[in-house]
Amino acid sequence: MSYFLGLDISTTGSKALLIDANGAVAGVAASPHTLQTPQPLWSEQNPREWWQAATDCIRHVLAENGVSGSDVAAVGLTGQMHGLVLLDAQGEVLRPAILWNDQRTQAQCNEIHRRLGRERFIQITGNVALTGFTAPKILWVKENEPDLYSRVAQVLLPKDYVRYRLTDVCAMDKADGAGTVLLDLRARNWSDEVLTALEIPHAWMPPLYEGPEITGVLTPEAAAATGLLVGTPVMAGGGDQAAQAVGVGAVEPGVVALTVGTSGVVFATTPTALIEPQGRLHAFCHAVPGLWHFMGVMLSAAGSLQWYRDTLAPQMSFTELLEEAASIPPGSEGLQFLPYLSGERTPHPDPLARGAWVGLTLRHTRGHLTRALLEGVSFGLKDSFTLIKEAGLGQIRQVRASGGGTKGALWRKILASVLETELVTLNTTEGAAYGAALLAAVGAGHWPDVPTACAAAIQITGSVQPDPVQVEAYTHTYPIYRGLYPALRATFATM
């Protein structure tokens, strides 16, 4: 039997996942990464550690499941987006990678907007320049480490460094490439205008490939390190959010992936390169050839519930808290919760935004607080859906939900009613690594295209329809929620 390997180079660790010819998960292994914060706001990792973790987990998943390297037909890659890896002319790493959650580059973001004009930059790349993205990190190195900058020969993203070690080829997929904000989004290729304005040599940027395309094959050295076969093809894959969307089957317009983990991510496939005029949504290429996507990010989704339980009710289980909330009517009898515990990104890119309960009275109980929190996070996610619709996507037919926050039936019902659409759960729980494995299988010719692969491997396990009573209640309370941030923005800044 042929197997396909998905390799996920995330922030916390590397994960190797094997699927069989039917798309069933045959084995998973993981190996942790360490994180360095040498200064406040800095976040870095050693790329060589990714390679060591990747080889460890590949060897483990093969050994633990009795799979020979010769049975693995192809490898697909995914991983954390936006991180900056710099190589010299000999392919050696020049400095620790600057990660997606590093916050040192606000001055460089401002400079990017100054050089190109903010509106022009949005129209080319589909995004505003944010500290998490790759382009401002390159400018930071130029300004702060000029001697090192003079030795740069290649710019890569985290998973693409592992690709380089596997294949001796520098390459990048278009989905992850779009997250550098150096792409012309519509052309699905590097933007000469942006690279010229930022004085970044075009030669530093690797060739770009669609998600299922072959970028190279395993070298003898990589085969010896991993236990895979020399010549095994390695597909382009995708950044973690695009691969996650493939892993849940959000691969056509109208089907939206909703991830309610510590953070919340709304991922909507688009048939063309749609752009939100103010850059309040991320707009990137999809890992599916010829498609794009919008993405809205909430920083504290299920993380809000985790904080609430740990801080105010540590003796209670999540089940007990949700049982109390289930007895409270929709709208929480006038109580609202703002979920900006870590600041916010979509639709308010404001690091100074703060969390709040608004409308407390003597009548309100712990159950009200809990339900208001669930509703507030749901409203925050609806903000992204609202922007996506306003930007031209059209009808949203189905929401495919994943993440710890969607395990509870109450929260799924609230989400379906707030979003006013069907919410489904799936048989796949391995996220981005699973999507990378499907992309590998498509690239190897096992399935003719990504939608066919998803249809064959992904099954719906549950469905929740909007509740008409709750829909009516939230139609009245959501506009109140929308008015709270504008009313409190200046107060948050003063605090």
Residues with catalytic function = 240
Buried b or exposed e, range 229-239, using 16+ CB within 10 angstroms: eeebbbbbbbb
Give the DSSP H/E element, type plus range, for residue 398: strand 398-402
Assigned token pair, 323: 């049982």
Residue indicated by tokens 């991320």:
282
48-83 burial, b if ≥16 CB within 10 A, otherwise e?
ebbbbbbbbbbbbbbeeeebebebbbbbbbbbbbbb
Number of CB atoms found within 10 A of residue 103's CB = 13
Helix (H) or strand (E) holding 260: strand 255-260
As given in the structure block, the two tokens for residue 374 are 């669930």
Do the beta carbons of residue 132 and residue 82 sit within 8 Å?
Answer: yes
73, HSE (Cβ side, Cα atoms, 13 Å):
18
Residues 248-252: contacts with CB within 8 Å, 24+ apart?
Answer: 248/400, 248/402, 248/426, 248/428, 248/431, 248/435, 248/458, 249/400, 249/426, 249/454, 249/455, 249/458, 250/400, 251/286, 251/288, 251/291, 251/450, 251/451, 251/454, 252/291, 252/451
Please list the alpha-helical segments (H only) found in 420-467.
432-443, 450-457
CA of 190: how far to CAs of 78, 174, 194, 207, 439, in Å? 20, 9, 8, 9, 23
DSSP of 324-338: HHHTSPTTGGG-EEE
Which CA distances in Å does 240 have to 53, 63, 112, 296, 435?
17, 26, 25, 14, 9
What φ, ψ does residue 137 adopt, rounded to 5°?
-65, -40
By DSSP bridging, strand 183-184 and strand 189-190 are: antiparallel
The interaxial angle of helices 409-419 and 318-326, nearest 10 deg, is 50
3-state DSSP assignment of residue 459:
coil
Considering only CA atoms, which of 66, 63, 47 is closest in space to residue 9? Answer: 47
Q: Fill in the amino acid letter for 495.
A: M
Quote the CA–CA distance of 162 and 380 in Å, as a whole number: 36
